[in-house]
Amino acid sequence: MMSWLWRFRFSVSVQIVIVTIGVLTLGNTPEQHANLMSHVGLSWDILADGRFWHILTGTWWQSKPGLGWNMVSMSLMVALGTFPLEYRVGSRAAAITVVTADWFASTMAAVTLRVLAAYDHLSDPGLLHKPDAGTSALAWAGMAAGAVVFIPRIRWLLVSIVIGFVAWQFRIEPAAAAIAHAFAVGYGLTAGWLMSRR
């Protein structure tokens, strides 16, 4: 059991963090959680204000409080992204890949929203001011990188599935989330290709 935990120490640690933060935010009212997001989440306004440390904190706090379906689905997504990747490339490479992907994707999503707003292509300008957070971009980066390296024989099938699902999100998810997930998948695919070359 201990050898299994050590083998997947990064994936297990991320799950512990997700559940712990779910417990810490259990019972938060919408107002309390919105206030929390202003301290740990990320938006264009926060970036423009120079509070760059929000890029780091926004990865771990979820956009919704508690231990509800949001937390359960997030845990499942992260597990699907991190366990196969960690199995193939090891804990250090998996951790570096998905965490930096989340930071990159979250930052690029905020910048993209600002560019869209500048050209009047953003249907909800309030997204520039509303802080967002969560480990979903981390999960999508892991799934994308894992699709490349996990089972090389069916690599293109897995990659096509991941790209198809993230494209579908532009129809069902808020713009900020869909854009962040698309950047995360692009980062993950690139990282997976580079790792497979090695």
pTM: 0.93
Residue 67: the pLDDT is: 85
| Alpha helix (H) residue ranges in 28-174 | 30-40, 44-48, 54-57, 69-89, 91-118, 136-149, 155-172
Give pLDDT, residue 146.
96
Q: Do residues 180 and 133 touch, judged by C-beta distance below 8 A? A: no
Structure tokens at 70: 């949001």
Give the tokens for residue 65.
Answer: 């409080």
Intervals of the chain under pLDDT 50: none
Q: Distance between alpha carbon 113 and the CA centroid of its chain, in Å?
A: 17
Could you give the CA distance from residue 132 to residue 102 in angstroms, rounded to a whole number?
12
Q: What is the pLDDT of residues 105-144, one digit of tens each?
A: 999 999 999 999 999 888 888 888 899 999 999 999 999 9
pLDDT for 127: 84
Pull the structure tokens for residue 31.
């107002």
Could you give the 3-state DSSP secondary structure of residue 42?
Answer: strand
Q: What is the DSSP letter of 152?
A: G
Domains (ranges, CATH) in the chain? Answer: 2-197 (1.20.1540)
pLDDT for 71 equals 84
Q: 143: alpha, beta or left, given left = phi > 0 and alpha = psi -120 to 50?
A: alpha
Give dist(CA 184, CA 144) in Å, integer: 8
pLDDT, position 2: 77
pLDDT at 175: 86
